[in-house]
A and B are shown apart, each in its own frame.
Chain A
Amino acid sequence: MSDNTLIRVRGLKKHYNDGAVRALDGIDADINKGEVVVIIGPSGSGKSTFLRSLNLLELPTSGSIIFDGEDIAAKHVNINKHRQKMGMVFQHFNLFPNMTILKNMTIAPVKLLKLPKAEAEKTALELLKRVGLEDRADAYPSQLSGGQKQRIAIVRALCMNPDVLLFDEPTSALDPEMVGEVLDVMKGLAKTGMTMVVVTHEMGFAREVGSRVIFMADGVIVEEGTPSEMFDNPKSDRLKGFLAKVL
């Protein structure tokens, strides 16, 4: 395993109903440090399942996921420790509605990393500033727009200072005019060298920001390469067909 590989996935399978449904059917992939890996594919292709397997929100049926030198898909792994290093951003934001924005962002660092409250709040406010929402620190999630909520969800994950951020269709639940503000935050994040794995339908984002694109269909990786290879010169018929529909 080279020093540059952050997550190494081998033979990852996720079967339902004793193998009758194969959401993931043998995935091999490496996520390297500083990369923005964009996963595209038709719905039902298993891309979300794959992403959610990376931090074990989906339990794989078999295969290995090496992260931080440990196979986190194995039995009796303390997954909570590893999840602190893998931030996740959800399609539906999943902010905690009963907490202020600041509390949303500081609860994990304070309770898990045992940071002093003042220090956690200082970091949180700096991050809020970066996404232009420092004046909403004391607001509740219900008072924010979808785009604002998702920006908060991103910085909430950043508060744990993770090694990698996983994005599960971060703009799919947003009104069209709010997609841009979230993508801008993600672009900014990519520039800072954050490792990101992004499941998205935003082909423009994949092409512009992605360092590598993975195309999945039927639970397997059909094709992968740089954005220009994938979008300008697709090899497989599946990818050609997919791109013809979405572009």
Chain B
Amino acid sequence: MAEWFEKVKNDFILNFVVDNRWKNLTTGLKNTIIITIFAAIIGVLIGLIVAAIRTTYDKNKETMKKNGGIGYWLMTFFNGVCKVYLSIFRGTPIVVQLMIMYFIIFMSAKNGVIVAIISFGINSGAYVAEIFRGGIMSIDNGQFEAGRSLGFNYLQTMLYIVLPQVIKNILPTLLNEFIALLKETSVSGYVGITDLTRGGYIIRGITFSPYMPLFAIAIIYYILVMFLTYIVGIVERRLRKSER
């Protein structure tokens, strides 16, 4: 037993202490967190806009068609654009999208992290859009009608009455998406970004340790996800308070 501990200790020192190799992990962790946070923000913004366009179109096309004019055609156009966006970004793997972004579209970009943020953000936006849309569609139409009958316009009804209910309902699903996003960033190494996964992999390449670096990054990802779950749990409980 003591022998085993000694071996683990030496392994630990070799992988993380010697030559400050732990810095590979912290650099990677920093990039992973930066990419995840900013991609999540972009994703939520895109998701909200796309969901807003699609549900507005679905719920108002009758009125807009009646009033006619450019508004109806614009909305039909944007609704179509949103559908194409969703279909493309959910229909292809994120690694492929990332590589197309990095090697073709942003060929001259020097900062891989920014390209990754854009790629993951646009990709996540497609999923978040459908989460929001599902959330909005799940609210009873009576809530819209009650809001409209009081004199709120469509946007006010959405903001004051529907969206607060939507956010409460979709929070668990949204958290799921953020967790998936965090873990998906582990493919950033494909375009040469030192994220957490690649950081561990660099150490592995130097020390040839079969276990230690991989377990280390697994544990760090796990801690990050647990932390995220904890934070959202607090928010969720606070929102649910209103129902008891």
* Interface mask (A125-164 → B, CB under 8 Å = 1, otherwise 0): 0000000000000001010000000000000110010000
A57 at the B interface (CB under 8 A):
yes
Please tell me the number of chain A residues within 8 Å of chain B, measured between CB atoms. 30
On chain B, which size bracket covers the interface?
20 to 34
Please indicate the chain B residues that have their CB under 8 angstroms from the CB of A95 in the complex. 146
* Interface mask (B144-168 → A, CB under 8 Å = 1, otherwise 0): 0110111111001000110011001
Cβ-neighbour of B148 out of A76, A81, A83, A156 (below 8 A): A83
CB interface residues, A 95-136, toward B, < 8 Å:
95-100, 107-108, 111-112
Query: Looking at A83, A84, A98, which has the most chain B CB atoms within 10 Å of its CB?
Result: A98
Please indicate the chain A residues that have their CB under 8 angstroms from the CB of B149 in the complex. 55, 57, 83, 86-88, 90, 157
Cβ-neighbour of A84 out of B62, B66, B151, B164 (below 8 A): B151
Given the interface pairs A76-B67, A108-B150, the reply to whether A98 lies near B142 with Cβ below 8 Å is: no
B243 at the A interface (CB under 8 A):
yes
Q: Is the CB of B150 within 8 A of A97?
A: no
Please indicate the chain B residues that have their CB under 8 angstroms from the CB of A97 in the complex. 165, 243
Q: Is the CB of A111 within 8 A of B152?
A: yes
Q: Is the CB of A84 within 8 A of B142?
A: no
Q: Is the CB of B150 within 8 A of A112?
A: yes
Please indicate the chain A residues that have their CB under 8 angstroms from the CB of B160 in the complex. 107, 111
Give 15 A-B contacts (CB < 8 Å), ordered by A residue: A57-B148, A83-B148, A83-B150, A84-B150, A90-B142, A92-B140, A94-B145, A96-B146, A96-B161, A97-B165, A98-B243, A99-B242, A112-B150, A112-B151, A140-B243
Q: Which residues of B line the A interface, CB within 8 A?
A: 62-63, 66-68, 140, 142-143, 145-146, 148-153, 156, 160-161, 164-165, 168, 242-243
